[in-house]
């Protein structure tokens, strides 16, 4: 006797969708226009028609385990052409935020960051309070008459004592979330074949070029914004790594001149981050009926990145041109924003980097042999 599949609709999921701006899913009448116009959807497993149906039914478990939720780049070709204004791109954006929250470790932190509309004062204020207390307790709140290097007011040991533990905790939390997601992805659909490292290598090459965004039409400029952000983060990470090696391996003295290669790389990375953020903000301010509506969850990440870049740039200018009494508060604010950005990585939109990478790797490892090749390959 054939087994009857169990369907367990979740009213909680439907309520969450409504609360976060995904109410338009109810308008979908399954005409499949969205799947027909999406150039990112594989021919054998088109989306987002199926995902819209699961959202209407409240099938939370199926949506959480569906890689198509992350293969969508919210280019909004589907939203622009939907005859019912069901806004599939916006709905999947809300679903992604729900996946991040539900797979978060601990989940209470995922829920806290997800409610950023009300919790943002804590997310921004707690790191700032931490730095002020730490500087005060160690006697580093005084302002020197002549400032040569920021290390005079915020020693490196203090920065490491904050960021190293936070980094370890964030990596552990992200690792647990990634493991949960990878198991979920493998729980349905065709079995994975091949090597994960090989698949991740192919995905990395795709991510650094953002080829899939090239298939989008409605929000194509966002490709360049995302690309600038990716390379900005990569450049900033490389610069930080080189500085650590140079400082402790070769006893390099700070501050570096503006013409030093490390300084040039760091400044170029800052410009890339600033340009990428500006493009995305401008795109978000355009007609939401065309490019998609922006949620508080989405806005918070963009705002934090923009503030990190702006304060970092102002700190550099302040060290060279402004009194230390002006530069020190600015530097402390910059450090607190950087801490917010990294501490919320597994719980904010920053986590897209983790989940989308795994979903793309899963797609490559489950792609049927008789399926036509991906147009972006």
pLDDT per position as a tens digit, 226-247: 899 889 989 999 998 898 888 8
- Portion of the chain with pLDDT greater than 90, in percent: 44
Peptide bond between residue 329 and the one before it cis (omega within 30 degrees of 0): no
Q: Per-residue pLDDT averaged across 117-128, rounded?
A: 95
Residue in 221, 266, 224, 226 with CA at minimum distance from that of residue 242:
266
Q: What per-residue confidence (pLDDT) applies to 369?
A: 42
Domain termination site, one of 103, 126, 143: 103
Residues 124 and 221 placed together within one structural domain of the fold: yes
Residue 142 in this model has a pLDDT that exceeds 80: no
Q: Has residue 39 been placed in a domain?
A: yes
Highest-confidence range of 48-52, 158-162, 170-174, 193-197, by mean pLDDT? Answer: 170-174
Q: Decide: residue 248, CB within 10 A, 0-12 exposed, 13-18 middle, 19+ buried.
A: exposed
For residue 225, is it within any domain?
yes
Whether residue 74 is found in the same domain as residue 188: no
Confidence of residue 70 (pLDDT cuts 50, 70, 90): very high
Which pLDDT belongs to residue 147? Answer: 67
How far apart, in whole angstroms, are the C-alpha atoms of residue 137 and residue 155?
Answer: 13
For the stretch 298-339, pLDDT in tens is 889 989 998 998 898 888 888 778 777 788 888 999 999 999
Q: What is the pLDDT of residue 45?
A: 82
Residue 125 lies in a domain: yes
Is 129 found in the same domain as 45? no
Q: How confident is the model at residue 373 (pLDDT cuts 50, 70, 90)?
A: very low
- Say if 376 falls within a structural domain: no
**Average pLDDT taken over every residue of the chain:** 86
Compute the distance between CA of residue 342 and CA of residue 237 in angstroms, rounded to an integer.
12
pLDDT at residue 54 above 70? yes
Length of the chain: 377
- pLDDT score recorded for residue 35: 92
pLDDT in tens, 8-50: 666 777 788 777 777 888 899 999 999 999 888 887 788 999 9
The average pLDDT across 281-310 equals: 81
pLDDT at 185 over 90: yes
**99 and 111 fall within a common domain:** no
pLDDT band at 154 (very low <50, low <70, confident <90, very high): confident
Q: Do 213 and 233 belong together in one domain?
A: yes
- pLDDT above 50 for 372: no
Task: Of 62-66, 190-194, 289-293, give the lowest mean pLDDT range.
Answer: 289-293
pLDDT at 370 over 60: no
Q: Which pLDDT score is estimated for 216?
A: 79
Does this model's pTM top 0.95? My answer is: no
Q: Residue 55 belongs to what domain range?
A: 11-103
Return the higher-pLDDT residue of 254 and 9. 254
Asked whether the beta carbons of 302 and 278 are under 8 A apart, the reply is no
* pLDDT attached to residue 360: 93
Residue 375 falls inside a structural domain: no
- Tell me, yes or no, whether 277 lies in a domain: yes
Count: domains in the chain:
2
Residue 23: per-residue pLDDT: 81
Residues 322 and 262 in one domain: yes
Q: Which of 78, 103, 128 is the last residue of a domain?
A: 103
57 and 112 in a single domain? The answer is no
Question: In angstroms, how far apart are the furthest CA atoms of the chain?
Answer: 85
Residue 77 has pLDDT above 60, yes or no: yes
Residue 373 lies in a domain: no
- Domain co-membership, 58 together with 152: no
Higher-pLDDT residue of 249, 3? 249
- pLDDT value for 375: 46
Answer yes or no: is 174 within a domain: yes
Q: Are residues 244 and 139 in the same domain?
A: yes
- Do both 92 and 116 map to the same domain? no
Q: What is the pLDDT of residue 151?
A: 78
Among the three residues 81, 103, 125, which one is the final residue of a domain in this structure? 103
323, 145 in Cβ contact below 8 A?
Answer: no
The reply to whether 36 and 113 lie within a common domain is no
In a shared domain, residues 134 and 78: no
User: Could you give the CA distance from residue 120 to residue 28 in angstroms, rounded to a whole number?
Assistant: 33
């Amino acid at each position: 006797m054939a087994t009857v599949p169990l369907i367990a609709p979740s009213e909680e999921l439907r309520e969450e969708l409504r609360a976060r701006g995904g109410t338009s899913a109810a308008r979908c009448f399954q005409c499949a226009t969205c799947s027909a116009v999406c150039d990112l959807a594989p021919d054998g497993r088109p989306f987002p028609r199926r995902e819209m149906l699961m959202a209407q039914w409240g099938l939370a478990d199926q949506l959480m385990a569906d890689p198509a939720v992350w293969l969508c780049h919210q280019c909004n070709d589907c939203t622009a052409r939907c005859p019912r204004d069901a806004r599939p791109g916006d709905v999947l954006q809300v679903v992604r935020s729900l996946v991040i929250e539900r797979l978060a470790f601990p989940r209470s932190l995922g829920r806290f960051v997800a409610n950023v509309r009300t919790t943002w004062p804590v997310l921004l204020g707690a790191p700032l309070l931490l730095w002020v207390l730490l500087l005060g307790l160690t006697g580093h709140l005084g302002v020197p008459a002549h400032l040569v290097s920021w290390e005079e007011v915020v020693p490196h040991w203090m920065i490491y004592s904050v960021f190293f533990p936070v980094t370890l905790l964030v990596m552990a939390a992200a690792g647990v979330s990634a493991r949960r997601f990878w198991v979920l992805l493998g729980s349905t659909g065709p079995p994975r074949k091949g090597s994960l490292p090989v698949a991740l290598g192919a995905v990395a090459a795709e991510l650094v070029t953002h080829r899939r965004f090239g298939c989008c039409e409605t929000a194509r400029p966002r490709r360049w914004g995302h690309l600038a952000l990716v390379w900005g983060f990569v450049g900033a990470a490389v610069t930080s790594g080189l500085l650590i090696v140079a400082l402790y391996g070769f006893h390099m003295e700070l501050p570096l001149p503006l013409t030093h290669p490390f300084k040039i790389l760091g400044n170029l990375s800052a410009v890339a981050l600033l340009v990428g953020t500006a493009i995305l903000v401008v795109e978000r301010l355009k007609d939401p009926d065309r490019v998609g509506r922006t949620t508080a969850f989405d806005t918070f990440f963009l705002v934090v990145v923009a503030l990190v870049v702006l304060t970092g740039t102002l700190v550099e200018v302040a060290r060279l041109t402004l009194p230390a009494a002006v530069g020190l508060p600015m530097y402390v604010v910059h450090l607190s924003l950087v801490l917010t950005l990294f501490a919320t990585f597994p719980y904010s939109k920053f986590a897209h980097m983790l989940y989308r990478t795994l979903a793309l790797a899963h797609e490559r490892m489950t792609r049927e042999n008789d399926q036509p090749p991906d147009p972006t390959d």
